[in-house]
Structures are given as C-alpha cells and as structure tokens.
Structure 1
Amino acid sequence: MDDLQSLGGVPAEIFRLPLEGQTIQKRDPARTEDEAPGAALKPLVFRVDESTPEVVQSVLLERGWDKFDEQCQDVEDWNLYWRSSSFRMAEYVNIKPWQRLNHHPGMTNLTRKDRLAKHLARMRRLYGESLYEFTPLTFVMPNDYTKFVANYFKEKQDLGAKPSYWICKPAELSRGRGIVIFSDIRDFMFKGTYVVQRYICNPLLVGRYKCDLRMYVCVTGFKPLTIYMYQEGLVRFATEKFDLSNLEDYYSHLTNSSINKLGVSYQKIKEVVGQGCKWTLSRFFSYLRNWDVDDLLLRQKINRMVILTVLAMAPSVPATYNCFELLGFDILIDDNLKPWLLEVNYSPALTLDCSTDVSVKRSLVHDLIELVYLNGLRSEEKKCGRISPRNSVVSLAGSSQSELCATPDSPSYASLIQLTMGSKSNPAAQHLCPKHTRTSQLREMLNRQDRLLTREAAKSKPRHKPRHSPRKMLSPYASQPQPHKMKGPTGVLPEAGSAPNDHAGNFVLIFPFNKATFGASRNGLNVKRIIQELQKLMNK
C-alpha cells in the first residue's frame, strides 16, 4: 500500500479493502461530524433506457447494483449507462470520472456494412490483398455498380455455363432483413445502399446444415488499443439442409436465429444439429476436435481477423477513456476450414430465446462487468489476500488498464476513483462522505482531493496539470501495476510500465499480444508497425 500514499496526502486507510460483509469502523479525519460510523456503502447505480436488454438489467441487479431513478436521484448519480443505441457526442464530453458508457464514439465505421467494406478495402490497398483475404469480394451499391457489373460479366464469361452466386445485404439493417441471394443479375434490382458480396458456396456443413459463429469481442480502449475475445459464443444453424439449387429458401441459406426460429423445422430433431438452431461455441469446437481439426489454430486465425478488422477503423475513433464496446463478429467457416468475416454487429442481440442463449449470454454480461469494473480492485484484493475463488483466474490483476489508458497529465487521484468502483462487497469508501449514493461519495471525494492538491500546489510546483479541460476525459483506470509476463500464446508484455489484464472471466486479451504491439498502440496508433508484427505471426 506504500505506493498509494503519494496521492495528495490522502490516508492509506482509505484504500484498504475489508472482507466481504465487514464494515470499516476506523474513523477517517475527512469524515464529517454528521456521518454515522460504519455506515453501509450504497450500491453502484446503472442507467438504462427502453432499448437496454433485459438480461443486462437482470445481471446488474443480481450483482447488487441499483437502477437509476431520475425522479429521486441526482442527474449525475449513476456509474454505468447501458443502451443499445449510440450516445450523442455531448454525452461523451460531459461524462464524469466515475461513469462508464457502453459505446465508443464512431463505432458505426465498423458495424455499418458499407463503411466496414470501405475501411477494409482501404487496408487492402495499403497493406496487400493477402492480409485482408478473410472478406469475400465486396461491392458497395450504388457507387460500385459499374464495377460490379463489369466483374459479374467477366466472371460469367470465365465460368461459362457454371453459375456464380452473390448475396446482397442492406447496409443498415440487421437480423437477416432485406437479404437477397441471386445468381442472375437480371433477377435483382438495386435500390438504396447495399453491399453485394460473392456468396460462399462451400460452407462447412454440420449434418448437411449451414452454420456461422457469433463471437463476442470487447474493445475496452483505443489509446492504447485493447481488445478482448470472449472464449464462449454461439453457433447458429440454418434449419433446412444446404441447397444451392433453391436460393430463395432462406431457412437453408441464412443462419439468423430471428429467421430460423420461425421455420417449420426449428423444433425438429435435425441430423447432428439436434433441436433448435444454436450450439455453444465450445460444443462446436469439441465437434471439430472429434474430426481431428486443430481448433486452436482456427481460433488464432479468428483472433488475427478480429485484430485486423478493428485496426482498420481504430485511428478514426476519438480518444475517450470511460467507454467500452461489446461487438458481435459473425464468422463463417468454409469446408477448407478458412474463416470468413461476414459482418460486425453493433449492440449484438442479448435476447434469451433458448437455453443456449441463457447459458452463454448471462455469463457474457457477468464477465463483461468483471472486465470493465473489477480490474482495478484486483491488485488491492490480491495484496490483502481477499481475492475470491471466482476472481482468482485474473492473473494480471495488478496490471489492469490503469496507466494503459491514463493520459500523462491525469490527476493523481484517479487511483482513488477506481478503488471505490468495484463491487457491492467493497465498502472501502463507506466512511468518506455522508451522501446516499456511490457517485455522490465520489464527487465529494474528488472535491476533497482538489482542495488537497491546491494546498500542495501552493507549496511546490505540481508535477501534473491540475485538471483536464472539459473535452479531455479523466481516465478511470488506476492501479499501480507491477511488471507481468502474460501466460499462454499471447506473448510477453513490456517489463516496464503497465499492461492490461490477460483475461477476466472468460474474456481473453488478444491485443496487444507482445511488447512491440503494446508500444505501437500506447501513444498513438502505429498501424504499420502492428501490421508488421501480425505478419511475423502469420509467417510462423
């Protein structure tokens, strides 16, 4: 705890974490006279709107959070705002250090089909076709109509009587809406903004049924770029057997569960697949291993695909430090075991339509909260010997994302913020303020720290700028990390300085994956250097 005593003269006792169920009885000099000793710390508060998934609210309530009530709480008294729609830029500018938003700004550059296609096309031009060969040949309509028609007739001439197959998707729609699969260009008229891709005609079939993978990715920051892959996920099946002779049978060609749960074969026991239209990802990889498929190599290819995809738009994302993003990557595996990126989903569906959804998505939300909120508490719990068995898997607890996302001029009291944000079992700040919510306690704590810093500044020249300007977010991450080596195939992070946790719950860090990529993303994104490191891995 000695490394915490430099925070503006705040007593080290403030940072000590009690055992679960205990309260702090020791009086703090900063406590006001009207505060009752041992008063219980109030829960964290989450804010929602009509679009927030029910499972998110359910999990947060289960974890002991309170739901924000604008009628009786201060407008700033919330810690997490989760909604399916995007936030306005003003909401990022006005965010407080103790608050989190579940979206980064500018993410539609990755999740809108036409914009994703344009970003990936630019990366292919800059870094070569071979690196970005995981996407099918794509045209954005109406701008690329002439190019598509020329390509279509050239290919038709080359193939002779053999047909070519294409899939057309509306740029802004999801859940399979508006998709058309065609072979003859005369059968389809383009209206509006679409992407047209070469249809993958040789998908890996399970019991003669087409499937794709819904994999969950969390981007916790862009400066430095920090990407986690969830190790569980969903495998979504078509409910009719794959048949290229009938392109209009969407139950044969589309894997969207929103479509297939309405099909006549949804409840039937299907060959190998069974009932319904979903497996867990772990069941799918187990199935592949039974056929002597190297599932680890397949995962590595998917990880590389995810990194390259996020990297395509990462330089355009404004720097904000109080955000995270859960993305749904849709990936198709062909019969040569090559993964293809189909699309990236914004606010991937968290509805619970079947038992597979329940087992995957509830754990997903639990682990996401662990990843975003509890990292900063790990080091103190570990130092004090209070880390629970559930949390013991986080081997880089002391690293967190603290200085990874902290700007050089961040105020020193950022550590104080993080240590009071962890979980309902952390009453470390219960004696700091007589207010009735966690966020009001944090505001009071910040004000007190300001006064302390001001007094210190009068005595000596400050090392840090006293405050950020309104448009420069305070970093909420704040442990004092020790050097750590990452376990497993992810490589070694810098021996000096901080590093993100290698995993939290079932989320595993896939970027940065070594010292070079960490350095190339810490102070501005050096895309060329990162590409070089990825190519080294590919060569191995």
Structure 2
Amino acid sequence: MTKGGDEQLVGSSSADTAASSTSDVGLVDETKSKGNTTNSTTDPEVDQPEVKKGEVPRGPGPFFYIGGANGAGLVSVYCRSKGWQRIHDNKREDYKLKWCETKSRETYYNFKEGEQLLYQIPNNKVLTTKIGLLSSLREYERVMNKISTNLNPKHVEIPDPKVAAVMNPLVWVKASEKFSQRILKMEDFFPESFRLDIKDEKEAFFELYKDTQIWICKPTCSNQGRGIFLLKNQAAVKSLQARLQSIEEDPVYKKLPYKAPQARVVQRYIQKPLLLEGKKFDVRSYFLIACTVPYVLFFGHGYVRLTCTRYDATSDDLTAHLTNQYMQKKNPLYSQLKEETVWRMERFNSYVNDKFRQAKGLPKDWVFTVFTKRMQQIMMQCFLAVKSKLECKRGYFDLIGCDFLVDENFKVWLLEMNANPALHTNCAVLQDVIPTVVNETLDLVLEIFNKSLKGQRIVPLQTLCHFVLLHNGGA
C-alpha cells in the first residue's frame, strides 16, 4: 500500500546530522548529505572488530547495511549482538536492515516489502523540512476548520421532517465542541511563519515587518543552524528583499531553477523564552514511526539543549540564539562548558519544580505531566496532518527529532521536526540517552514487524520501556 507524496513540496528530508561515509558515494539523494564533524574519540559507540570493508561476509546472514556515520556504531553493535553480519555494498539487495542517512531512489525501488526493514520513510520531507511541515499543518487546519463548521447545527440542513423530529441540536453542539477541543490551532503551538518562495506570502511579510520585531530566516532543508540568520531591523529586511529579488531576476536561475538557492521561510522569533540559569534552551524529543502498515507511533523523551552563554535577545552572536551542539561548538567557552550544554529531563524537571512551581502556580512535575502531554499532543497533530501523504510499506520506519521551546509564560512551541536526528554521544548525558533511544527504537521496530507479519496483536509489547505508545493502528 503506497500513499502519494505531496508533489508541490520542494526538497528532501533534512538530516539533523549526518556524515557521509565512502559507502554512500554515488547515492542519488534529494539533498546534500549533512556533515557531522563530532570527534568520536570519546564515543562509546566505536565498532568492535567485524568484517572489513571490501570483504564479503561469510554465512547465511541476516545482513545489515549502514550508510553514513550518524549512529553507525550503535546500530552496528545492536545488529551484531543478534548475530547479523554487516555488508558494505549498497547495491546488495539481500539485507534485513538498511540504515542510511541519505536517501537513494534505488534503495526504495528495490525494497522488498514485508521482508526488509528500511530507515527513513521516503517522503518524510512533508514533516521534516520547514516548508513541508508548515504546508502540511496549514492544509490540515484548513480541512479541520471546514469539518468543524459542517458539524455546527447552524450549517446543517435537515430537509426530512422525521429526521428533524428526532435530531437533538445539543448532540450536534457537543460533537462540534468535542471535535474542536481535539484540534490545536497552529497559533497555539507553531510560531507565525511565511514562505518566501510564494510571492503573496513574501510580500505580506515585508509589509508586516516592523523595526521592533525579531524574525528568524531559515532555509527549508538545512540543519544544524546552517544558513540561518536573524532579521532585527529594517536594514536587514531590505537586504533580504534585495537578495530575493536578485535571485528571481537572475537569468541562470530562470533557465535552471533547480540551481537556485533553496527556498526559505521566515518565522517570528520567540523573544521571551523561559531561561535555565539565565540561558536559552530547547528540548529535543523523539517521534518514532515504528511501522507504517499499520501505523504504530511512539513518543520518546530526549534531553535539554542549552547555550553556553546567558541569553541576550539583542546579541548578534548566533550561539546565543541557537542551542544545537553544532552551533555551540563555535562558542569559545564550549570546551569548558560542554557538559552543561546538555541536561537530562530529570534535571530540567527538578529545576522547574524548585524555581517556578510556586511563582507560576505550576503543578508538581510540570515537565513530566503538562509539558510531556503537550509535546505528545503536538506530535500527533503533526502526524495527522501527513497521515494520508506518507508513503506506507511494511518495513518502513522513521525516528524523527522534534525540537520544542518553552516561553516565559510556559507556552510550548514546536520549532521544527528533523529527519535523521543527531545520534552522537559526545557528553555524559548523551552517552546515557542516545544508546537507549537507538536500542529501543530497533527493538520496537523488530518486534512490531515480526508480529505484523504473523498477524499477531501488536500489544502488549515486550520491548517497550522508555517510549510511550501514542497510536496503534493495528488495534
């Protein structure tokens, strides 16, 4: 069963981090592979001795293939613990599991549904690019608003008197209210955004902008802060406007539009974020699509990412605004503060309990109750927005990194969703969190895959430990 992707969306799934190994040479990817330059000398995920690259493994398998370096050690150790053998030829079709950070058309074309496991849904870009996510959420909200309007008794015509006689208007009202409560408004969790590749939206943004505002401009497919800049005054906005105009008028790009710089979005900057010890932070959580036939979805806690320096909204230093490790490594203080740039969720919860519970009237353990529930709710809405778009085959699975920001009023914002999230373990917290995420991801994917092949009930799940089941389409 295959569901068509959104052909109007441009670009591929953006890797949160990726390092192309030589095994990836020649792959036809929809975007450039992203580089993970993390020094792995302190990583616990270094491979144990195995079949060397270029050698053909002996034995009947099962075989696994890994393309790229992101999480490669962890995935390799997991597979070899099951007696599987690693292969290095991407063209081989006799694998049990293929874990690649870049996507090859050949990989999906030769995929054997119901026999193989393949990491990354081919058109996950509808969730994991800036334009893809924005467009999907907008379309979903438009459709849901229309359905909600139709549920309103004022908009329903009941021509048959017999039907009218038994129809209680309160039933329609309650149904409409219940439906509305389940759907979040975009303005309640997603910062106001404009697509700069659409003329009307671009012009609307330039007319809207005022000097007192800060906006953030992002390329649709880039990651790790690449290509991001802030718009903090009219001069910066005018400069952007001139640049876009220049690109539109360039004869080369008119003739070869695929060579033009990737499309961008501008997003209203959250100027008053909640701070931890005076520093800006966001939270990386995980959305696991363990199976697409049927859909089986999970939420996983991740970790808190903090800046090295105290927050200053007026600062021109991007490391004061972007919390990811790639950006923080550019700060001269990073080597001294590395361990303080990542917190466990338990530490975050304790900090909120100690510093804000009384002052803000929060319930105890707000992080693990209200905040967690809100993240899960937002993830599910994003999934519902793309449920009918994602390409579904038994054996496809995906682990998506979701970045959330909390403002000073404890409102939760979704910043973005990332394909191929960073799986490096360059500090103590990540050495604890990341292996658990990878191992349980693979445990759940395998268990559900085998159960679905045998026609067994998905739940209970023997391997479920840290993840939380959000949706079981096989129920």
**TM-score grouping bracket, smaller chain normalisation:** 0.5 to 0.7
Q: What is the CA distance between 1:58 and its match in structure 2?
A: 4.1
User: What pairs up with 1:268-417 in 2 under 5 angstroms?
Assistant: 268=336, 275-290=339-354, 291-292=356-357, 293=362, 294-295=366-367, 296-375=369-448, 402=452, 414-415=453-454
**Offset of residue 142 of structure 1:** 2.5
Would the alpha carbon gap of residues 242 and 304 (structure 1) be closer, same or farther in structure 2, given more than 3 Å must change? same
Aligned: 1:173 with 2:242: no
Do residues 261 (structure 1) and 329 (structure 2) align?
Answer: yes
**TM-score (normalised: structure 1):** 0.59
Distance in 1 between the 2:123 and 2:460 partners?
A: 23
Greater than 6 Å deviation, 4+ residue runs = none
- Corresponding position: 1:98 with 2:115: yes
Q: Classify 1:53/1:375 alpha carbon distance in 2 versus 1 (closer, same or farther; 3 Å).
A: same
> d(CA) in 1 for partners of 2:144 and 2:114?
38
The residue type paired with residue 233 of structure 2 is D
Q: Which moved more, 1:187-196 or 1:43-52?
A: 43-52
Work out whether residues 229 and 508 of structure 1, in 8 Å CA contact, stay in contact via their aligned partners in 2.
yes
User: Unmatched 5+ residue regions in structure 1?
Assistant: 1-40, 157-161, 378-399, 403-413, 416-477, 482-497, 513-517, 523-540
3-state SS of the aligned residue for 1:504? coil
- Which SS does the other structure have where 2:423 is aligned? coil
Aligned partner of 2:201 in structure 1 is 147
- Asked which structure has the greater CA Rg, the reply is 1
1:200-219 alignment to 2 at 5 Å?
200-219=270-289
In structure 1, which of residues 135, 139, 146 is the aligned counterpart of residue 190 of structure 2?
A: 135
SS of 1:373's partner is helix
Quick check: 1:123–1:132 contact (8 Å CA) kept in 2?
no
The answer to whether the Cα contact below 8 Å between 2:122 and 2:391 also exists between their aligned partners in 1 is yes
Q: Is 1:47 matched with 2:117?
A: no
Name the amino acid aligned to 1:198.
R
In structure 2, what is the Cα distance between the partners aligned to 1:86 and 1:64? 26
- What letter matches 1:105 in structure 2? P
Superposed displacement of residue 106, structure 1: 1.1
Deviations 1:434-454, CA, capped at 9 Å, x for gaps: xxxxxxxxxxxxxxxxxxxxx
Corresponding residue of 2:155 = none
The verdict on how the C-alpha distance between 1:374 and 1:199 changes in structure 2, with shifts beyond 3 A counting, is same
* CA shift for structure 1 position 364: 1.1
Confirm or deny: 8 A CA contact 2:64 2:79 kept in the other structure: no
CA contact (8 A) 2:140 2:385 kept: yes
Kindly state the Cα deviation for residue 227 of structure 1 after the two structures are TM-superposed: 1.2
| Letter aligned with residue 408 of structure 2 | D
CA deviation string 1:418-449 (max 9, x = no partner): xxxxxxxxxxxxxxxxxxxxxxxxxxxxxxxx
CA contact (8 A) 1:328 1:347 kept: yes
Q: Which amino acid aligns with 1:114?
A: I
User: Quick one: distance in 1 between partners of 2:91 and 2:311?
Assistant: 56
Matched, 1:118 2:187: no
| SS of 2:298 mapped into structure 1 | strand
Contact persistence 1:56–1:365 (CA under 8 A): yes
Cα separation, partners in 2 of 1:186 and 1:70, compared to 1, 3 Å = closer
SS in 2 for 1:315: coil
In 2, Cα distance between equivalents of 1:288 and 1:501: 33
Write the deviation string for residues 46-72 of structure 1: whole angstroms up to 9, x where unpaired. Answer: 21224553333443256244333368x
TM-score (norm 2): 0.67
Query: AA paired with 1:139?
Result: F
* Partner residue, 1:475: none
Residue 230 of structure 1, aligned match among 297, 300, 303:
300
Aligned residues: 349
1:197 deviation in Å? 0.4
Partner AA of 2:345 in structure 1: L
Provide Cα deviations, 1:60-88, integer angstroms capped at 9, x if missing partner. Answer: 256244333368x9944421111111242
Which runs of 5 or more structure 2 residues have no equivalent in the other structure? 1-58, 146-182, 245-260
Q: Alpha-carbon deviation of 1:96? A: 5.2
Q: 1:168, CA displacement in angstroms?
A: 0.2
